[in-house]
Structure 1
Amino acid sequence: MALAYVRPDDHRLALDLEALLTWAIRDQQADRTGAALHPAEAIAHYGLLYGLPTGAGVYRTGISADGCAVIANRFEMGADIDGGGAIRGIPPRVHPDAELVAEALEWLPSSERRVIQDHARHTDRPVWLPLVSPLGKTLRPGHKPGRYRHIVADVGWEATPRQSEIAQRYFDRGVSLFDRLGRRRIVEEERGFQFRILGNGTRQVLTEWCPLEPKHSAEEIAQANEDYAFWHGAMEALHARLRARPMRDHRLTAFTAPARPWDDNP
Structure 2
Amino acid sequence: MPAPTPVGATVHQRRAIDLEDLVEWTIRTQRADRDRVSLHAVELAAAAAIRRSHRPAGSFDAPAGWGVDSCVRVAEIGLAGTRVDGGGQIRGVAPRLHPDAEAVIAAIDRAFGSLKGWRRCVLDQARVGGRPLWNLGAQRFVPVKNTAPQGGGRRHVVMSEWETVPPLSVVARRMIGRGIRIVDDRGRRKFQQAEPGFSYRTLDDGSRQVVVRWSAVELLPSDAEIRDAREEYAAWHAGMMRVLGELLEVPLRDYRVTGFAAPAMPWIFT
Equivalent residues of 2:16, 2:258 under 8 A apart: yes
Q: Matched residue of 1:137: which SS?
A: strand
1:39 shift after superposition: 1.4
2:86 aligned with 1:86: no
The 3-state SS of whatever aligns with 1:101 is helix
Tell me the amino acid that sits aligned with residue 88 of structure 2. G
The superposition leaves residues 28-85 of structure 1 with CA deviations (integer Å, 9 ceiling, x where unpaired) of 1112222364412425767999xxxx99xxxx9976535259869xxxxxxx994x51
Are positions 1:118 and 2:120 aligned together? no
Whether 1:96 aligns to 2:99 is yes
Q: Larger Cα Rg: Structure 1 or Structure 2?
A: 2
Q: Is the 8 A contact 2:19 2:259 kept in 1?
A: yes
CA RMSD in angstroms, aligned pairs only? 4.2
Q: Is the alpha carbon distance of 1:67 and 1:129 closer, same or farther for their aligned partners in structure 2, counting shifts above 3 Å?
A: same
Match of 2:220 among 207, 215, 225: 215
What does residue 19 of structure 2 align with? Answer: 17
- Give the equivalent residue in structure 2 for 1:39: 41
Question: How far does residue 256 in structure 1 lie from its aligned partner after superposition?
Answer: 1.2
Whether the 8 Å CA contact 1:37–1:64 is kept in 2: the answer is: no
SS at match of 1:224: helix
- 1:230 is aligned to 235
Which region of structure 1 is more displaced relative to structure 2, 37-46 or 121-130? 37-46
Distance 1:124 1:230, change over 3 A: same
CA deviation map 1:141-191 (0-9, x unaligned): 2879x9x84679xxxxxxxxxxxxxxxxxxxxxxxxxxxxxxxxxxxxxxx
Whether the 8 Å CA contact 1:134–1:215 is kept in 2: the answer is yes
TM-score (norm 2): 0.54
Q: CA 1:230 to 1:70, structure 2 compared with 1: closer, same or farther past 3 Å?
A: closer
**1:248-263 equivalences in 2 (<5 Å):** 248-263=253-268
Q: Amino acid of the residue matched to residue 119 of structure 2?
A: R
Task: Choose 34-43 or 105-114, whichever is displaced more.
Answer: 34-43
Counterparts of 1:135-214 in structure 2, within 5 Å, are: 135-141=140-146, 149=155, 213-214=218-219
| Contact 1:137/1:210 (<8 A) preserved | no
**How far off its partner does 1:10 sit?**
6.4
Query: Aligned pairs, how many?
Result: 185
Structure 2 Cα separation of the partners of residues 90 and 243 of structure 1: 28
Question: Which residue number corresponds to residue 105 of structure 1?
Answer: 108
Output the CA distance in 1 between the equivalents of 2:219 and 2:67: 58
| Contact kept? 2:144, 2:217, Cα under 8 Å | no
CA distance in 2, matches of 1:215, 1:231: 24
By how many angstroms is 1:120 displaced? 0.4
Structure 1: distance between partners of 2:107 and 2:74? 30
Q: Secondary structure at the match of 2:250?
A: coil
CA distance in 2, matches of 1:234, 1:12: 25
Query: What's 2:32 paired with?
Result: 30
Look up the equivalent residue of 1:126 and give its one-letter code. P
8 A Cα contact 1:29 1:90, kept in partner: no
- Over the matched positions of the two proteins, sequence identity in percent amounts to 37
Runs of 5+ consecutive residues of structure 1 not aligned to the other structure? 1-8, 73-79, 153-208
Shift of 1:215: 0.3
Counterpart residue number, 2:250: 245
Say whether the 8 Å CA contact 1:17–1:254 is kept in structure 2.
yes
